[in-house]
Chain A
Amino acid sequence: MSKPTIIPIGPYHPLQEEPELFKLYCDGEIVRDIKWETGYNHRGIEKLSESKTFDQVFFLVERVCGICSTSHPFAFANCMEEIAGVEVPDRAKYIRTIIGEMERIHSHLLWVGLAGHFLGYNTVFMWSWKYREPVLDLFEMITGNRNSYAMFKIGGVRRDIPDNMIPVMQKELDALKLKLNLLTGAVMDDPVIHARTKGVGILTREDIIDFAAVGPTARASGVAIDVRKDDPYAAYPLVNWKVITSEAGDVFAKTEVRLLEMYESVSIIEQCLEKLKKEKEGGIDVRVKNVPEGIGTGRAEAPRGEVFHFVITDGGYTPVRHKIRAPSYVNIATFKKSCVGQSISDATISLAAVDPCYCCTERMAMAYDYHTRIAMMGTADLLRMSREKTDNIRSSL
């Protein structure tokens, strides 16, 4: 075989919002191998955590990833509560679950939008980001910030959801369901999206198990793993919901899983709000005076999959060791299977399909070869190729 052409995507690339370098080794139009390079987003969070008190660590882990800014504090809270042996009041459990599920809705809407953008379908991008705004407004109402909510602490939550907010939330959720119906209809029935995503970036059940992939990536291949069911935490065992799975394992299945998961999330929030109504306001935390010496693990289901936190404490005010495993770290490895053998124009959507979050892992494209200084195909070209393919399909229909 002749020397493969290397197409770099990243590290600073309009395709991905975060820095990460992917090198596609191509033979003609076909991707033969893929390598990725991380470190552009390394902030030394685990080390920083050792210099912060337990209350401060929540603000730090919240900034591991801005999109899953509830999942990391959620897992850390589960972990610390395991060490301290604290049982969280029911009201705090419901509030935690509501915030966690609202985050899932906004994250999935964000992904559907970006996936549409990569396919050259900017209408989907604009729609779904417009529908995402009311969710962020609800966040602002409850927590005071659109992202990074600072709701969690050891033993409970920092802010209550007062009774007068519940009808406002229910009204917004009803409106959101109608919008989700529109979006789901538009995405699931669109022949161009079908043609671009079906049979693209397939991951089989075996691949998922080999790569230890988690979250919607695994569920789209028929592997029903979900921390919320497998290792229930917060109020998830107290409400009725089901794990959404799909069998095909392609990009379309991943889209389907995410879209349907949003309905489940809405249903979980509605049930939690009903239960909150019955409880009295207040009593959202238990006081934790001291964290004893110990080792704890905490898990939470982020929008992208399982978040795992491991903490060692020595009876002091700070963690002695804090280990974080984010879902994208394991999901990114599946690119070796999903991208290889595909054409370059499908590579972008295959990469986007696992909803990679490099802040969690640690982003993509410089248009120059570092050593030879020869201009190569950049992100703009990749996006153009992806969009041209969509246009071609659209015109041939």
Chain B
Amino acid sequence: MAFKDFIFKKSLWLFHFGGASCNNCDIEILDCLTPRYDVERFGMQLVGSIRHADVLLVNGSINKKDKVRLLEIYHQAPKPILVVAIGACGCTGGIFAEGNTFAGPVDKIIPVDVYIPGCPPKPEAIIGGIVNLINKQPA
């Protein structure tokens, strides 16, 4: 097991990037931290800076103004970084894909490792997606 595989085995730290979203996915991500779902028991926590993060959570459709900043955040991230696209908008652009400011979806801008569909995905689905992400890592 290479060192970079080893670091993804436990205690993933998450950075949340909310693009042009409707806020639902953002709230459901926060909901994962609260007593009922409590992902912190798995060692996961939201961090304030991408430089501390192992996982980049992206939700929301990406508009022209967000695209530049998403790329900047991705380049600032310590590599390797895992990217999770959350919600219908993160995966495909969703209902906003036809909008005149749409510049996504996320996988056209940065490589994505896991997609969590749903509008919004339930916290169970988000936790399930992250578990998939951990299981995807080579043992």
Contact = CB atoms under 8 A, between A and B. Distances in A.
Interface of A: 11-14, 17-19, 39-45, 47-48, 51, 59-60, 62-67, 69, 110, 113, 125-126, 129-130, 133, 146-148, 357, 359, 363, 366-367, 378-380, 383
B19 interface: yes
Interface stretch (B4-12, B26-34, B78-86, B108-116): B26-34
Contact of B24 (A59, A148, A367): A148
Interface in B13-69: 16-28, 30-31, 34-36, 46-49, 60-61, 63, 65-66, 69
B67 to A, nearest CB: 11
Interface SS, B side: mixed
B120 interface: yes
Contacts of B25: 66
A383 B122 CA distance: 28
Interface of B: 16-28, 30-31, 34-36, 46-49, 60-61, 63, 65-66, 69, 73, 94-96, 98-102, 119-120, 122
Nearest to B94: A63
A17 B18 contact: yes
Nearest to B17: A12
Contact of A67 (B27, B61, B94, B96): B27
- In this complex, the member of A12, A146, A379 whose beta carbon has the largest number of chain B beta carbons within 10 angstroms is A12
Contacts of B47: 14
B18 A147 contact: no
B26 A18 contact: yes
A75 to B, nearest CB: 16
Nearest to A15: B48
Contacts of B22: 62-66, 69, 148, 359
The 5 A-B pairs at the shortest CB distance, nearest first, are namely A66-B24, A129-B34, A44-B99, A17-B26, A66-B23
Given A18-B18, A129-B35, 8 more contacts: A14-B47, A17-B30, A40-B69, A41-B21, A42-B20, A48-B98, A129-B31, A359-B23
A84 B21 CA distance: 31
B100 A47 contact: yes
Contacts of B63: 39-43
A363 B21 CA distance: 10
A148 B120 contact: yes
- In this complex, the member of A41, A44, A60, A359 whose beta carbon has the largest number of chain B beta carbons within 10 angstroms is A41
24 contacts: A13-B48, A14-B48, A17-B18, A41-B20, A43-B63, A44-B102, A45-B99, A48-B96, A48-B99, A60-B95, A63-B24, A65-B23, A66-B25, A66-B120, A110-B27, A113-B34, A126-B35, A130-B34, A130-B36, A146-B120, A146-B122, A147-B24, A147-B27, A147-B28
A13 B17 CA distance: 9
A105 to B, nearest CB: 15
A42 B65 contact: yes
- In this complex, the member of A12, A41, A43 whose beta carbon has the largest number of chain B beta carbons within 10 angstroms is A43
A110 B27 CA distance: 9
Contacts of B19: 19, 40-41
Contact of A14 (B31, B46, B102): B46
Nearest to B36: A133
Given A12-B69, A43-B63, A129-B31, A18 B23 contact: yes
B25 to A, nearest CB: 8
A258 B69 CA distance: 35
